[in-house]
Structure 1
Amino acid sequence: MPKSNSLQICLVKTGPTTPMITTLELRPLGNDTYTTQTGTLKLLDRHYYASESDIFGIRYPDDVYDRKWDLVFPSNEIWINTTANVNQSRPFELPQAVMKRAITPKKATEPLTLLFLSDENPSDKFYVYFHFAEIQALRANDSREFDIVWEDTTFLPPYSPKRFQSDTLFNKLPKEQGTVKLVRTKGSTLPPLISAIEAFKVMDLPYSETNTDDVVSMKNIEAAYALNFISWQGDPCLPRQYKWDYIECSYTSISTPPRIISL
């Protein structure tokens, strides 16, 4: 999931044969949807909950962004649904087919264990997006409030889903691997509830991309003079051994975007 407005895909030859590609599909997303402080995001899991007799997976046109939602059958939870519409909220614009369904624990006093995030590299970091909507008609004395707990640490304040309104919570800073649970608060009369979840791993890039303004300028020069150099593909300054021909770059540090200093 890159963050730039443009993208060049490179097929790298690693053997005696010629690289080839049949199809490439891209989906634009708003800059305020999935964010990360550094690096880019790799999707690990995106699922919603439904019964075994329900539809199998959701994509476009149900999801305007053509995200692929995988179906998970609840085994140790209670599955609930509604026929009423759930109001959407920007920027995530979740499908009705996802938000009209939810799960709660079979035992109202027990936590709802959502997923266990782990990887071979213990230093890996993760972002998790939790999608909620209260789809049950609550009585006057009913309340639903719970903590979101990551490896026995509450990292978000007590939360109550909005009535028939989609809402999304996520960790603002990347977190390490561990178990994620929804834990009912002492003042709540109802167990926790969730409609869908997305988990991403942070992919730290070895270098920052070349300064965006410099790249735009080079593209303008390339178009104005109808230049057609084979090496002018991908990032102009990176990797350094494959830098564009006829330019020189300034490299300050790994975290600082390189600058094009001469042409």
Structure 2
Amino acid sequence: MELRTLRYFPEGEQNCYTLKPEQGRSNNYLIRAVFMYGNYDGKNQTPVFQLYLGVNSWITVKDSYVVHEIIYAPLTDAIQVCLVNKNNGTPYISALEVRQLDNSLYQSGNGALALTSRINLGGSNKIIRYPDDIYDRKWNHDQKNEWIPVTLAPNLTIETSNNGYKVPDKVLGTAVKCVSGPIYVSWQSKFTISKFYVYFHFAEIEKLEGGKQRTLNIRFNDFYNLETLTLDYLKTQTVASFALTGETTYNFSISSVDSGLPPILNAYEIYQHKDFYRLPTIEKDVDAIINIINTYGIIGEWQGDPCFPSSWNILNCSSISPPNIISLDLSHNQLTGPIPEFLAQLPYLRVLNLMGNQLEEAVPKALMEKRNSGGLTLNLDGNPDLCLAGSCKGKNRKVVAIVAPTVSVVVFIILCALAIYWICEKKRKGTRREWSLKAKNWRFTYSEIVNITNNFKSVIGEGGFGRVYHGSLKHGIEVAVKVLSSSSRQGSDEFQNEVELLLGIHHKNLVSLFGYCNEGGKMALVYEYMACGNLQQHLLADRSTNVLTWKERLEIAVDAARVLDYLHNCCKPPIVHRDLKTSNILLSEDLQAKIGDFGLCRVFTTENETHISTDAKGTRGYVDP
């Protein structure tokens, strides 16, 4: 019944189910996701996409029918199961189930246990699950030629009260034995770094003559003795292994210590440990950003964690774990009313862009204090009804018009204004264009640039503009600082062009600008740090190092195409980069591509303008496609 329908997700990069069980966080849950393609779209091509549990990758879904199961203790009250589009078909899902387990079972530490196999031995081919299994585990059947099935007499019951795993009677009531030697349980692993746990479930269901007891020895890969145990009649025992790793083939043998009694096994489970090393975004940050979105009614794709696997397009996050929201761009969103106080509840927020809205009243005191202390870059331009805290006292008073100036005074003022304009125009034409940047709050002093880069200690790149240095803002946020050199082929025009452009647009595949410096001829740009360098470095890397897979190359190309589509078709007026090349495509820690270096880009201010230009721009010897 569960497989007759499915839900598919043609829109958005990630789509998430948020599950909120009553028991909340830090409890063990069994999560089961079922996928059956069934050629529902008529394409006869099974999609391939990524399945995430919160901010951590669970598995790649690639089969036309598959059931993935995992045991997980969430760190938050909500469990988020996300389907992430990897541009290889539309993600879909047939069923999603969550069951609570006993917290003393299946310990996974800082991670989760993904099911490899769960086998009922000696029984029928029918799958056993709820209501026979109170935890709704699915028990599949297996039988080998050398195994002899054993079944409990119908008038007998097995005592399970002493075993917390609560294996169903229907599972424990059947078993296999092998008279020709040990019972072997084995499986393969693609990677030696994978880690596994195995659980063997035993119950003596044969009445042995003379009160004999069966003693079993469990060995791993024929050299390590896992356990020796003696079975009691109609009672259960579970043997759990230690963490198994470092092999590609895992083999357990269960043999009888008493040669007169063959070994027996009722059921077993194998799990692969998932190292969920990523932590979700700090909960206080998540609550604040959700509050902001709900308050302003901002339309967008707000699913899953704000920072990972892909950050929401209005924010940037730190690279530390757990991540913090460090930059928030709410510019040009037609926001109205006062700025809410809870914006100050984002403790690690370093950049807040509210330009181009219709906000009003006073700026919250907490935000102003944070800005004045240097802890926050705050952009409030383009909000004519907004005033700084403490400066709104007479803002709404009625203005009494004074109709006293004479005509001669008016004429004198007009003439003075015209004279000043003529002088300024003459100076502008005779010298380089002056600065018109409005975002004063995004400005760093040169001494701050020196401190950020630790006196320009670490060079991480060099281009036509100058050298790029690694740096750190307050609270350890990593940045890249591009400093204009005296020998640079680019100058102040390109510098101003890049600052004005990046302060006015925002896209997840554009490098974020934290600020700039223009002091006494010394110019610098402060960007977010891209940990994996640029695409050119990876394409030209030595084959002995880690090279990009074809899948990674395709994802990078799609990221670049998305931002170009945004610049050409979504920005009003359109923007053309004019120097797009592999060295200007930067890569984050998870290989997300972001385009940088906008000094040579061009904005078309009218619909009649075209892309045709007689000027040669860009990199010498390189023509932008």
Q: What TM-score comes out, normalization by structure 1 length?
A: 0.78
1:81 aligns with one of 151, 155, 176: 151
Amino acid paired to 1:202: H
Instruction: Give the counterpart letter for 2:320 in structure 1.
Output: Y
Alignment of 1:1-263 (within 5 A): 1=70, 2-4=72-74, 6-15=78-87, 19-50=91-122, 54=124, 56-82=126-152, 83=154, 84-89=156-161, 90-107=163-180, 110-113=181-184, 115-140=185-210, 142-175=212-245, 176=247, 177-185=249-257, 189-205=260-276, 207-210=277-280, 214-215=282-283, 217-218=284-285, 227=294, 230=300, 232-239=302-309, 241-242=310-311, 245=314, 248-249=317-318, 251=320, 257-258=322-323, 261-262=347-348
Deviation at residue 122 of structure 1 after TM alignment: 2.9
* Residues 122-143 of structure 1: CA deviation (Å, up to 9, x unaligned): 3322111101111122334522
Check 1:231–1:200 CA distance in 2 against 1; reply closer, same or farther (3 A cut): same
Superposition deviation, residue 203 in structure 1: 2.9
Q: Distance in 2 between matches of 1:178 and 1:193?
A: 20
- Structure 2 counterpart SS, 1:8: strand
More displaced, 98-107 or 66-75?
66-75
The CA deviation at 1:169 is 1.1
Any idea what the Cα deviations from partners look like across 1:225-259, whole Å, max 9, x if unmatched? Answer: 783765653234434x526855754616xxxx446
Structure 2 CA distance for partners of 1:111 and 1:117, relative to 1, 3 Å: same
SS of the counterpart of 1:97? helix
Residue 184 of structure 1: CA displacement? 1.9
- Match of 2:244, SS state, is coil
User: Which residue identity is paired with 2:274?
Assistant: M
DSSP-derived class of the 2:87 partner: coil
TM-align CA RMSD: 3.1
Deviation of residue 48 (structure 1)?
Answer: 1.0
**Displacement after TM superposition at 1:14 (Å):** 2.9
Deviates more, 1:189-198 or 1:138-147: 138-147
The unaligned stretches of length 5 or more in structure 2 are 1-69, 326-346, 350-625
Structure 1: state its 5+ residue gaps. Answer: none
What code does the residue aligned with 2:273 have?
A: V
Q: What percentage of aligned pairs have identical amino acids?
A: 29
Are the counterparts in 1 of residues 120 and 141 from structure 2 also a CA contact under 8 Å?
Answer: yes
**2-side partners of 1:131 and 1:244: how far apart?**
49
* Structure ranking higher on relative contact order (CA contacts 8 Å, 6+ apart): 1
Q: Distance in 1 between matches of 2:293 and 2:306?
A: 17
**CA distance in structure 2 between the aligned counterparts of 1:196 and 1:136, rounded to whole angstroms:** 16
Contact kept, 8 Å, 2:197 with 2:244, in 1: the verdict is yes
Structure showing greater radius of gyration is: 2
Corresponding residue pairs, total: 248
- The residue identity in structure 2 corresponding to 1:154 is Y
Q: Whose helix proportion is higher, 1 or 2?
A: 2
